[in-house]
């Protein structure tokens, strides 16, 4: 049963160079890739993130939580913790962690399927994978339901 307090959610796939961003509606359980912002030496492009936040006015933020196959934290998990702290401080919204294991591989597989079916004609970039991974992370969080 959907939680009526959760509306539009913004999802992030944190990377050391790029952060994929997606938007989705909790009640529809669907997410759409939005774009990518740079992450330069651990400093995200906050002005660009601010623009997405202002445009979409999300009720909640979902961030991919990097774990190994055996559910251990990865090296990048420390950076994601810092990113989450800054999101909470900057936007004062609920921030949820979503298991992101295999999201990039799933995004690459999805793009391959789109190319082979003719839905996608142009060359795939790292940014395409990052933003689709953000959408998949958001949809997986929708499927699991709020904590």
Which tens digit of pLDDT belongs to each residue from 108-138? 566 556 555 665 455 555 566 788 889 999 9
60 neighbors 47 (Cβ within 8 angstroms): no
What would the pLDDT profile of 62-112 be if each residue is shown by its tens digit? 999 887 677 677 777 889 999 999 999 999 999 999 887 655 555 556 655
> What are the residue ranges of helices labelled H in 26-125?
46-56, 77-91, 103-117
What would the pLDDT profile of 9-61 be if each residue is shown by its tens digit? 999 999 889 999 999 999 999 999 999 999 998 899 999 999 999 999 999 99
38 neighbors 31 (Cβ within 8 angstroms): no
Is the pLDDT at 8 greater than 90, yes or no?
A: yes
Residue 1 is predicted with a pLDDT of 41
Radius of gyration (Cα) for the chain, nearest Å? 15
CA 7 – CA 59 distance, rounded (Å): 6
Residue of higher predicted confidence among 141 and 1: 141
14 neighbors 63 (Cβ within 8 angstroms): yes
Residue 108 is predicted with a pLDDT of 57
CA 61 – CA 9 distance, rounded (Å): 6
Residue 76 is predicted with a pLDDT of 79
CA 123 – CA 101 distance, rounded (Å): 25
Residue 73 is predicted with a pLDDT of 72
Strands laid side by side in the 8-13 sheet: 43-44, 30-40, 18-25, 8-13, 60-65, 95-99
Residue 77 is predicted with a pLDDT of 86
Residue 120 is predicted with a pLDDT of 47
Which residues fall within 8 angstroms of residue 22, CB to CB, at 6 or more apart?
10, 11, 13, 31, 32, 33, 34, 131, 132, 134, 135, 137, 138
Q: What is the CATH number of domain 8-144?
A: 3.30.420.140
Residue 75 is predicted with a pLDDT of 77
20 neighbors 130 (Cβ within 8 angstroms): yes
């Amino acid at each position: 049963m959907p939680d009526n307090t959760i509306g539009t959610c913004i999802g992030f796939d944190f990377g050391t160079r790029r952060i994929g961003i997606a938007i989705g509606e909790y009640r529809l359980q669907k997410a759409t890739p939005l774009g990518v912002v740079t992450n330069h030496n651990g400093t995200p492009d906050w002005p660009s993130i601010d623009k997405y936040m202002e445009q979409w006015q999300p009720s909640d933020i979902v961030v991919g939580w990097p774990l190994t196959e055996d559910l251990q934290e990865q090296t990048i998990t420390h950076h994601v913790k810092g990113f989450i702290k800054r999101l909470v401080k900057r936007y004062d919204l609920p921030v949820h962690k979503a298991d992101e294991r295999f999201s990039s591989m799933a995004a690459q597989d999805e793009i391959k399927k789109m190319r082979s079916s003719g839905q996608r004609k142009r060359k795939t970039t790292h940014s395409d994978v990052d933003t689709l991974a953000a959408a998949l992370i958001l949809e997986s969080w929708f499927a699991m339901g709020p904590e």
